[in-house]
């Protein structure tokens, strides 16, 4: 092992709004004080109940990926395991996600900044 994953950082135009979106999806605490990061208008964090930390970094000229267009690669995506796909879909749409399609039994969405994520059955 070379190291430990500290967090996953997502570029976006509005850090607090995207942190709150993922808080609605994953639970956890937005902008919990943490010695590893300073929090400001350009940086927000989400400490999830599972122990993962997502960080959000403001990029003024953020260009969202286009799934599944290879001319605009997705850059990364998150797979989120759920018990009930239909219920989870209702919830992520209410949070502001945009449906992108289906990939087998998985459902693909974009977060408010355009990053793709998948809901997958548990």
Return the CATH number at 24. Answer: 3.10.180.10
88 with 50, same domain: the answer is: no
CA 81 – CA 58 distance, rounded (Å):
27
54 with 82, same domain: the answer is: no
Asked whether the predicted pLDDT for residue 92 surpasses 90, the reply is yes
Number of domains composing the chain: 2
> Is residue 53 in a domain?
yes
12 with 53, same domain: the answer is: yes
17 with 51, same domain: the answer is: yes
Of 104 and 26, the one with more pLDDT = 26
Q: What is the mean pLDDT of the chain?
A: 89
Identify the band that residue 3 occupies on the pLDDT scale cut at 50, 70 and 90: low
Q: What is the pLDDT at residue 65?
A: 83
pTM for this prediction: 0.82
> Is residue 92 in a domain?
yes
Which distant-in-sequence residues (6+ apart) come within 8 Å of 107 by Cβ?
85, 89, 99, 118, 119
Q: Is 88 helix (H, G, I), strand (E, B) or coil?
A: helix
Asked whether the predicted pLDDT for residue 88 surpasses 80, the reply is yes
Give the domain range for residue 44. Answer: 8-58
Asked whether the predicted pLDDT for residue 94 surpasses 90, the reply is yes
> Is residue 3 in a domain?
no
In this predicted model, what pLDDT tens digit does every residue of 31-84 receive, in sequence order?
A: 999 888 788 999 999 999 999 999 999 998 888 888 788 777 777 778 898 999
Contact 95, 25 (CB under 8 A): yes
18: exposed, middle or buried (Cβ count in 10 Å: 0-12, 13-18, 19+): buried
20 with 50, same domain: the answer is: yes
> Is residue 65 in a domain?
no
> Is residue 103 in a domain?
yes
Asked whether the predicted pLDDT for residue 1 surpasses 70, the reply is no
């Amino acid at each position: 092992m070379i190291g430990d994953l500290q967090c996953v950082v997502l570029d976006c135009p509005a850090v607090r709004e995207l942190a709150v979106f993922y808080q609605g999806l994953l639970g956890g605490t937005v902008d919990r004080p943490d010695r590893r990061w300073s929090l400001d208008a350009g940086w927000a964090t989400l400490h999830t109940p599972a122990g993962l930390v997502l960080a959000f970094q403001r990029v003024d000229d953020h260009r969202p990926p286009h799934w599944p267009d290879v001319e605009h690669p997705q850059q990364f995506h998150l797979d989120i395991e759920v018990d009930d796909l239909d219920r989870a879909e209702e919830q992520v749409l209410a949070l502001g996600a945009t449906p992108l399609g289906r990939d087998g039994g998985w459902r693909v969405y974009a977060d408010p900044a355009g990053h793709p994520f998948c809901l997958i059955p548990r």
